[in-house]
Structure 1
């Protein structure tokens, strides 16, 4: 864990909280671009974003539960043999001053086979910001070669564990599971449910109480990295000890995103997700990554507790995004934060508020290379993200007064 210089973040935290420039300290003109207001556009129609529950996976999950050792987030974090976090990656990743930085081990920091994308924390999941066993994990999603995994990071112990996400199915009359081939550009943890962005269709749903430990299962194997599911009477997860089966999904009622350029209408391109617990009704936030010189991307919210049921869930708010190439966003107490990817250049962090006329008080700052999804850790007043590029990779956070 590394904490970098504090001066700049003190200024920016004050600005985000609405502190006047004189109180926050002088900010060099080169640091910020502050347009009076981002260009306003007509708000999207909410009917386009209605979600309906997809087919359940109860039968194969019940059968797997009878054959494999069930674990969960608490047990996984408390088990031995996890990988160790290290330090020293912040500079290469271009992480800004006063950032709290966690680094993966050398293999995970340099691999091009897996790319980190989504970030969520126990602060999204629990009001008390800790699990029953006392742990306070951060979660990171990765995509790679038609597979997806989620990393459970325990910052208190300085360790982390990878968990392979799988799709439960039947292989003849026997339960099995297959890989999940999605981008997993954002994740949101609320209660026990983990929601993973499915770019074309909506959301994949997982239960953090339902994780199978292949290493502790008589029918499980951690030996073969080339196999997944049931083979020769043994269950494999590409060599990983833990697998987490998909328990459900939420799909756009009017059909999913069909690819190509952003159109500004129709189903959302589900690029990233987040949770806002600072509103009277907690919401799931999702938005689009769109190329420059095209239609504006959109950001949408749904009442997240409605996703516990089976009825269709309607969006309760939507707006055009203020900028293109948005890789992640989160809202806390009315303050919005956006990451913008700029290819191999360092990315940007935008801050803004939304009013009746559009995006107001927009400021921006250069941050790490490849900044991705965002998550507010309320009790620490910090917002977490991950820098995605190999050799420039870091899990890091910055202070934000409005994140509380």
Structure 2
């Protein structure tokens, strides 16, 4: 039933897309035009509202909790020496297809305006089931300002499994596609399962969390934690990827070795950040959704958007956490002596259903300059393309799809935005494809 609904939604999206291109829009359908216009106005997130009260900022304070070194060492001693990103890329076993080789449904999920510069769809083995869905993206352009990790150009895409369908052992799990992006004509990837050490490093369990946001900074990968607890983020170390030794549905230690539901590699968490105000809610601590990195801020900052249902009546919060400048704390947030991290640059937007966020402040600009914020959010109705808006304290702008009727020009089921500073590209996801758009093209398309 869900599968048939998806195709109906895409047929509606295809019809709207053709109509807005001027091929078949019945201009005499006044009621339809009024409805679309009202939806466009309702989608406008408006100007950003700064939030400065201690009550507001206090709800975003988190505490760092690092896994003890002895636990990580115990796990590594039992599983064998950890490996790095290069070892995973040397064993890629999936390929991404170029847009010309993708299905019409895959291509239909891409942005209408601005058009993707590069677009790829996933290996058919990974899209045959609706259980796994792509949700977040980050790149070696986030990890290092030269855009490389060692000699590699890499894209990481986070996927989450449904909690209500599919094999019971896989429900809610999170995995990351390590994509070798050295050759833009042939992107290959390998899966790594995210896990969490337990029992003092004597075992591990699968991370059960929606990885709606993910940022690779230095040697750390920060992902959103949505477990119903006060946890906000999990932290992973890209130098601590472990090989499994047994094949089977189990996750963790098994007789004769280590298993991970058939995955060859696991990456154990090395820490987490928890909201001091308790579990997230619309009026308390925010449920973290989209994440990205801003290299133009001083210091570099983790940019975050609140996860709220589209059209639910609540307005989302946007904020940042500064990264530590201490060389001994590479990739971790700027915590005080007690491990607390305070949010900075906090705003309220009238948007909800946010799937991607960027705060862009060009390198070398004045620290007093206000960055532009970009948000990718779902339409306030079922199905169809979402909108990509640029906001500041004065208002918001979005691309139009060749018409003044609607701003629903971005991806279908959109998720995640990641700016690759070295190339000027924004990498993003639809519900079926991985693609990039130059940031300059996004800016020039804004109406």
Shift of 1:362: 5.0
- Superposed CA RMSD: 2.7
- In the other structure, the counterpart of 2:306 is 288
CA deviation vs aligned residue, 1:217-271 (integer Å, no higher than 9, x gap): xxx22x21x11111113100111111000000011122231x5xx23xx211111
Say which SS state the counterpart of residue 130 (structure 2) adopts.
Answer: coil
CA deviation vs aligned residue, 1:173-232 (integer Å, no higher than 9, x gap): x71111111111110111111000113521000001110122xxxxx22x21x1111111
- In the other structure, the counterpart of 2:348 is 320
1:331 to 356, 359, 380: 359
- The CA distance in 2 between the partners of 1:403 and 1:365, in whole Å, is 14
Query: Could you tell me whether the CA contact under 8 Å between 2:215 and 2:223 is conserved in 1?
Result: yes
Shift of 1:125: 1.0
- The CA distance in 1 between the partners of 2:178 and 2:225, in whole Å, is 20
Q: What are the within-5 Å matches in structure 2 for residues 218-297 of structure 1?
A: 220-221=245-246, 223-224=247-248, 226-257=249-280, 259=281, 262-263=282-283, 266-291=284-309, 292-297=311-316
Is 2:369 the partner of 1:351? no
- The CA distance in 1 between the partners of 2:237 and 2:442, in whole Å, is 26
CA 1:403 to 1:275, structure 2 compared with 1: closer, same or farther past 3 Å? farther
Query: Could you tell me whether the CA contact under 8 Å between 2:375 and 2:388 is conserved in 1?
Result: yes
- In the other structure, the counterpart of 2:119 is 101
- The CA distance in 2 between the partners of 1:42 and 1:105, in whole Å, is 43
TM-score by length of 1: 0.80
- In the other structure, the counterpart of 1:3 is none
Higher strand share: 1
Shift of 1:402: 8.7
Q: Which moved more, 1:40-49 or 1:149-158?
A: 40-49
CA deviation vs aligned residue, 1:272-311 (integer Å, no higher than 9, x gap): 2111112232110111122314121101111123635653
Is 2:393 the partner of 1:378? no
1:82 to 93, 108, 114: 93
2:212 to 165, 185, 200: 185
CA 1:162 to 1:298, structure 2 compared with 1: closer, same or farther past 3 Å? same
CA deviation vs aligned residue, 1:118-172 (integer Å, no higher than 9, x gap): 111111111111011x11111111111121111111122521010000111128x
- The CA distance in 1 between the partners of 2:377 and 2:272, in whole Å, is 28
- The CA distance in 2 between the partners of 1:122 and 1:377, in whole Å, is 8
Query: Could you tell me whether the CA contact under 8 Å between 2:358 and 2:417 is conserved in 1?
Result: yes
TM-score by length of 2: 0.73
- The CA distance in 2 between the partners of 1:163 and 1:362, in whole Å, is 36
Higher helix share: 2
- In the other structure, the counterpart of 1:136 is 153
- What 5-or-longer segments of structure 1 have no aligned partner? 1-28, 215-219
- In the other structure, the counterpart of 1:149 is 175
Q: What are the within-5 Å matches in structure 2 for residues 4-19 of structure 1?
A: none
Q: Which moved more, 1:161-170 or 1:280-289?
A: 280-289
Is 2:71 the partner of 1:53? no
Query: Could you tell me whether the CA contact under 8 Å between 1:37 and 1:362 is conserved in 2?
Result: no
- In the other structure, the counterpart of 2:83 is 71
Is 2:323 the partner of 1:304? yes
Query: Could you tell me whether the CA contact under 8 Å between 2:67 and 2:270 is conserved in 1?
Result: yes
